[in-house]
Structures are given as structure tokens and as C-alpha cells.
Amino acid sequence: MRRFLLLLVLAVFAVPLAIQQKWLAVPPRWDPWAPLDIRLAPNLLTPFKLWRLQDDPALCRQALATSPLRYTALADSAPAADCPLQNSLRIQASGLRLSSSFIASCPLAAAFGLFERHALQPAAQEVFGQPVALVEHLGSFACRTISGSQRRSQHASANALDIAGFRLRDGRRISVLRDWPGEGAEARFLRQVQQGACDSFNVTLGPDYNAAHRDHFHVDMGLLRMCR
């Protein structure tokens, strides 16, 4: 038991400190203090690296520079606002088009970049042999509480996005509402996309979660981890 506790202390405290102080060299993707590189597939350290972006605009820009995301930084809201926003961006496009621009916290923007590169486009190539050209969404920022509760929604801090469908390069449209219940290529694609989203976002909720999500995937960067 003592040996186990010693190893646990080393793993939790000593090793990260040694990496931070450059006493121990590790590849950047396994260095918790190295900036997030969106070109690299998510791993166990990715949630921590995404969390570090929320209050560090400079680190945010460094991470987003490794993605094709096109965005405009937004000014912080006044503290007196009902739903103030800090370190937020307006995402205009990426390697694909969007049905409209959307406001995102920096962690949400970076997670979307990871999702596009490592989950969405690989699933489209595997199932359809072509990329997704357009993501259809239902919005991100909404100053409201979670339905049926008094708790603020992640949408109230632009920390969530609702994705309703996709359009492929050849114009073919895949709808969460229409195609999720099926058994064809579209349904297989949507299930791969949902599972892949769980590797990038902290929370991914789809039609099987409840009736309120029958027509979209809800993804967010809240403190909880959930894939349903």
C-alpha cells in the first residue's frame, strides 16, 4: 500500500512538476503544459489543455493557429450583463462552411476544430468517400437556464453548440432528426460522428438521450463528462 501511495504521489505531483520545470522531456502531445495542437488527435491530456484556454486569450490564439478555423475575437461583455462573455470568438468558417457564424468560448472553438479534423471528416470519408462541406447548427449562445431547472445552461456562456445536420461535398444532406432512426449509411455516419464528438467535447448528447435532443447533437465544454 505504501508503494502504491508513493507511485500515486509521483504520478499526480512529481511527474507534472518535472515536466513543467523541463527536468523531464516528453513529446508535446503528452506534455500537459505544452500548448494544444489541434492537428494532433485528442488524448487523455486534451481536456486539461482545453480547460487552460478559457482564461488565457494568448494561449487560445496559439491553439487556434494550428487549425483552419476562421474567427473574430469579441470584446468581453460588461460584468453587469445577465450572461457576460469572456475570451469569446465569432466562428465564421473552418475547413468547411457553417450554416451561419456562431459565438463560442475559446475551449468550444478549439474543441470544434478537434472534432472537425479527427471525428467529422474521417467519418465522412469512411462512410461516403467524400468530406463534409457544411455543418448546419441551431446556435450556440443563448442567455437562458437549463430547461426545467434554475441552473444556467452552457449556452449562456457560449460554451455549447447544437448541431442539426451536415451537407456533403456532392450536396447530399444528412439530418439528425430524419436519419438518426434509420439503419443506412446516414445513420451509421451520425453514430460515428456522435462517438467521435465525445473525444473532443466534454458533453455530447444526442437523440437517444431524450426527446428534446431528437433533432440535434448538443455538445458543450462544461465541467461534467458525458457521452449519451
Q: How confident is the model at residue 15 (pLDDT cuts 50, 70, 90)?
A: very low
64 contacts 100 by C-beta, under 8 angstroms: no
- Is the Cβ–Cβ distance between 160 and 204 less than 8 Å? no
Domain residue extents for the chain: 1-34, 45-76+85-227
Radius of gyration of the chain (CA): 19
pLDDT band at 10 (very low <50, low <70, confident <90, very high): very low
The SS3 of residue 15 is helix
Higher-scoring residue by pLDDT: 174, 27: 174
**Residue 214: all three cell numbers together:** 431528437
DSSP one-letter code for 37: -
How far apart are alpha carbons 164 and 114 in whole angstroms?
18
Mean pLDDT over all residues of the chain?
A: 89
- Whether 18 has a pLDDT exceeding 70, the answer reads no
CB–CB of 37/66 below 8 Å?
yes
If one compares 25 and 47, the residue with the highest pLDDT of the two is 47
147 has pLDDT over 80: no
% of the chain with per-residue pLDDT over 70: 88
What integer is the mean pLDDT of 67-79? 90
Residue 12 pLDDT > 60, yes or no?
Answer: no
Supply the pLDDT for residue 146: 83
